[in-house]
């Protein structure tokens, strides 16, 4: 890696490290302030936007090599409470990447067919191929979040009764951690983002959705009902992060009260992950070089 890149990586690490969780033990959600902007004042917002644009550009370059290399896959998991900015973050951060190498899946309430399978089934079917980025807008983590907060959802999953014990959430988390370890061992880079918005900022954004006609469509009364379960959700998130944070599948708990900061950190995490792979375009061997030279000569020799 060249010197300039190493310097940028150092700066990226400084920005990202406070939010990276690779070891669950001792992690507490309340140690991360949703309003944190990493020491950047709101006067630095334009600078942050510039840096984001640079990040998006770098991501595009790396994705091209990633696709050509065709060995790793990248799975980006986005989890958050409503109005934390998942959709906007995904569209801003991924704005520069080639759509051919990237797929976004949004997971909603499961269908009857999906409920007829084990919980991982529907998520497993959408995993990214080698050389591609897969984005999960909500994910298998809902199985230990919304399903845990609303236990009646578990009833609908048609599990054999003797398997539904008090340990079920611990067991699911263990299976998720095992699944992610498996993916990592297969060459999938697994990055998990929890966009950590405060209850107060969520209220402000809901009110905005109610007040601004062009945002009305985003408003759902169900979201306000879910807000009533805030503490249960936070407990479920904390437990999930503790049980599944690892070096091979880290969590990034990103302050989400300021969208410009959220987007900058997410982009930085992805660029860092790409750079650590030290990607290069596949080398062309001598036989292939000869072939290319011959084709070139033939093309040049054509009359028209
Ligand atoms: P947005 O509101 O920004 O469009 P969203 O991800 O909130 O995006 P919605 O259609 O509003 O999308 O909601 C999807 C709902 O599906 C969420 O409330 C989520 O908790 C729920 N959901 C996701 N996975 C599951 C699951 N496995 N079991 C039950 N509910 C689920
Ligand atoms: Mg919603």
138 CA distance to ligand 1 centroid (A)?
7
pLDDT at residue 132 in the model:
98
Domain housing 229 = 3-300
The model's pLDDT over 104-150, given as tens digits with 9 standing for 90+, comes to: 999 999 999 999 999 999 999 999 999 999 999 999 999 999 999 99
How many angstroms separate the most distant Cα atoms in the chain? 78
pLDDT at residue 104 in the model:
97
- How far apart (Å, rounded) are the C-alpha atoms in residues 289 and 294? 9
266 CA distance to ligand 2 centroid (A)?
21
Counting ligands in written order, the one closest to the CA of 80 is 1
Residues framing ligand 1 (Cβ under 6 A):
82, 87, 106-110, 138, 142-143, 146-147, 153, 220
pLDDT at residue 2 in the model:
83
Task: Identify whether the C-beta of residue 202 lies closer than 8 Å to the C-beta of residue 94.
Answer: no
pLDDT at residue 5 in the model:
87
Task: Identify whether the C-beta of residue 16 lies closer than 8 Å to the C-beta of residue 268.
Answer: yes
204 CA distance to ligand 1 centroid (A)?
20
The total number of structural domains that make up the chain: 1
pLDDT at residue 163 in the model:
97
Which residue's alpha carbon is at the smallest distance from atom 25 of ligand 1? Answer: 109
Residue 112, domain CATH: 3.40.50.300
- In ligand 1, the atom with minimum distance to the C-alpha of 145 is 20
Which residue's alpha carbon is at the smallest distance from atom 12 of ligand 1? Answer: 108
pLDDT at residue 101 in the model:
95
Low-confidence residues of the chain: pLDDT under 70? none
208 CA distance to ligand 2 centroid (A)?
15
- In ligand 1, the atom with minimum distance to the C-alpha of 83 is 3
């Amino acid at each position: 890696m060249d010197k300039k890149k190493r310097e940028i990586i150092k700066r990226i690490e400084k920005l990202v490290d406070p939010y990276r969780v690779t070891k669950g033990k001792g992690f507490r959600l309340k140690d991360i302030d949703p309003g944190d902007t990493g020491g950047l004042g709101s006067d630095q917002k334009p600078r942050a936007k510039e840096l984001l644009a640079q990040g998006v550009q770098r991501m595009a370059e790396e994705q091209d090599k990633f696709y050509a290399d065709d060995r790793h896959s990248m799975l980006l998991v986005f989890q958050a409470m409503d109005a934390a900015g998942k959709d906007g973050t995904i569209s801003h951060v991924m704005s520069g990447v080639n759509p051919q190498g990237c797929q976004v899946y949004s997971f909603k309430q499961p269908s009857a067919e999906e409920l007829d399978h084990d919980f991982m089934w529907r998520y497993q079917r959408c995993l990214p191929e080698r050389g591609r980025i897969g984005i999960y807008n909500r994910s298998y983590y809902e199985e230990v979040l919304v399903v845990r907060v609303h236990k009646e959802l578990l009833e609908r999953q048609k599990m054999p009764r003797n398997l539904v014990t008090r340990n079920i959430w611990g067991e699911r988390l263990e299976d998720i951690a095992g699944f992610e370890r498996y993916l990592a061992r297969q060459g999938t880079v697994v990055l998990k983002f929890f966009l950590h918005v405060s209850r107060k900022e969520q209220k402000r954004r809901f009110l905005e959705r109610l007040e601004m006609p062009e945002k009305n469509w985003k408003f759902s009364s169900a979201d306000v009902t879910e807000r009533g379960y805030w503490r249960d959700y936070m407990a479920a998130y904390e437990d999930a992060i503790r049980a599944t944070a690892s070096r091979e599948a880290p969590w990034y708990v990103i302050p989400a009260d300021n969208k410009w900061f959220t987007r900058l950190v997410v982009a930085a995490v992805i660029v860092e992950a790409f750079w650590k792979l030290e990607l290069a375009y596949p080398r062309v061997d001598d036989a292939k070089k000869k072939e290319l030279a011959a084709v070139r000569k033939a093309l040049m020799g054509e009359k028209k």
